[in-house]
Structure 1
Amino acid sequence: MYTFYKTYQTEVIYTAVLLIILLSIRAIIVIAVKRIGKRSGTTEVRANLIGRYATVTILLVGFLIESFILGADFGDIAVVFSSVFAVIGIALFAIWSILSNVTSGVIMFFSFPYKVGDKIKIHDKDYPIEAIIEDIRAFQLILREDNGDLVTYPNNLILQKAVTLIQKDALDDSSI
């Protein structure tokens, strides 16, 4: 063990410093996302989901930096990443609607003006909906219509349609 540490002393030190820096950045991002979520009135589950997205991104960046620390050449890393991104690009093209719903979910976390419990009207020409928001998830909104029907509405469509706020916190008002 001593010879291993002596041989790779600088790599071990750089890796430890990288790990501390990345964990610090992750903690700062997770705390900031939770504060933004609390300030905007979103659920803790959604804040945790955005935190997981940030963690995965930081993990990928950490792997890239660690490969440089361990002595990989830029050309080798470029070949690996171009191959991986080509495969991911083809896969994402095949599942673009899932990706657009997840991206819309992240956008909605930071800038969606409606909260769980609000009664909204979605102005869709084919199927207009007037319902109470029960939950906002990564892929869709869960809406409850007045007749009790449960409707799931994709996140990417909610950002494309006109939405009117009918009643703020309709869940709290109905329980009175």
Structure 2
Amino acid sequence: METFLITYDEQILGTVILVVILLVLKYLGAKAIKKVGKLSDIHEVRTRLIIKFSNITVTFIGIVALTFVWGVDFQKLGLIFSSVFAVIGVALFAQWSILSNITSGIILFFSFPFKIGDRIKILDKEVDLNDEIFFIDDIRGFHVHLRRSNGELMTYPNNLMLQKAVVLIQTYEDSKDSTDDL
């Protein structure tokens, strides 16, 4: 054990420093996302989802950085990585819709003008929605839960929320104010 510590002292020190940096990045990133969520009055569940995506990204970057710290021979790993990336590339191409919805979910978190509890109308010529007004029940990583006026639940993909025109009919705050006046 002592020879291992002496032989790899630089790599161990680099690993410890990298882990500390990654933990600080995860903490600061989560704090910043929570602040954006609080300032924008975004539901806590959505905020936690974006923090989870952020932590996965930081962890992936950390794994790549660890390979450099430990001096992994990339020529030997080249064949393995190319095979893995080929399989991942085919899988990602096949799952393009899912990735599009995840990316849209992240974009909606930071710049979506609508919140849970708002009433909206979706202008989609391809789907006959009969000028129906929907209540935003929940916003998830892949789709938005919309409640019809008759109580039915409809899921609408996040990427379509960015692509289609969405009209804000009434905000949640406005609906609370109007019921408070009664």
- Per the normalisation by structure 2, the TM-score is 0.89
Aligned to 1:57: 57
Unpaired stretches in structure 1, ≥5 consecutive residues: none
- Per the normalisation by structure 1, the TM-score is 0.91
- Deviation, structure 1 residue 104: 0.7
- Deviation, structure 1 residue 82: 3.3
Q: Report which stretch shifted further, 88-97 or 65-74.
A: 65-74
Structure 2 residue identity aligned to 1:105: G
Q: Secondary structure at the match of 1:133?
A: strand
CA contact (8 A) 1:140 1:155 kept: yes
- Deviation, structure 1 residue 84: 2.6
Aligned pairs (5 A) from 1:95-106: 95-106=95-106
1:130 aligned residue (122, 128, 133): 133
Q: Report which stretch shifted further, 154-163 or 83-92.
A: 83-92
- Deviation, structure 1 residue 60: 1.2
Aligned pairs (5 A) from 1:81-120: 81-120=81-120
CA contact (8 A) 1:101 1:155 kept: yes
CA distance in 1, matches of 2:7, 2:135: 63
CA distance in 2, matches of 1:135, 1:60: 29
Aligned to 1:143: 146
CA distance in 1, matches of 2:75, 2:114: 47
CA distance in 2, matches of 1:86, 1:56: 21
Indicate how the Cα distance of structure 1 residues 51 and 81 shifts in structure 2: closer, same or farther if over 3 A, else same: farther
* RMSD of Structure 2 on Structure 1 (CA): 1.8
CA contact (8 A) 1:132 1:171 kept: no
Aligned pairs (5 A) from 1:155-170: 155-169=158-172
Q: Secondary structure at the match of 1:135?
A: strand
CA distance in 2, matches of 1:107, 1:88: 24
Extract structure 1 runs of 4+ deviating beyond 6 A.
Answer: none
CA distance in 2, matches of 1:115, 1:32: 19
CA distance in 2, matches of 1:32, 1:96: 29
Q: Secondary structure at the match of 1:159?
A: helix
Structure 2 residue identity aligned to 1:165: L
Indicate how the Cα distance of structure 1 residues 42 and 130 shifts in structure 2: closer, same or farther if over 3 A, else same: same
Q: Report which stretch shifted further, 138-147 or 74-83.
A: 74-83
Aligned to 1:18: 18
CA distance in 2, matches of 1:116, 1:171: 12
Alignment size in residue pairs: 176
CA distance in 2, matches of 1:145, 1:37: 27
Indicate how the Cα distance of structure 1 residues 174 and 87 shifts in structure 2: closer, same or farther if over 3 A, else same: farther
Identical-pair percentage? 50
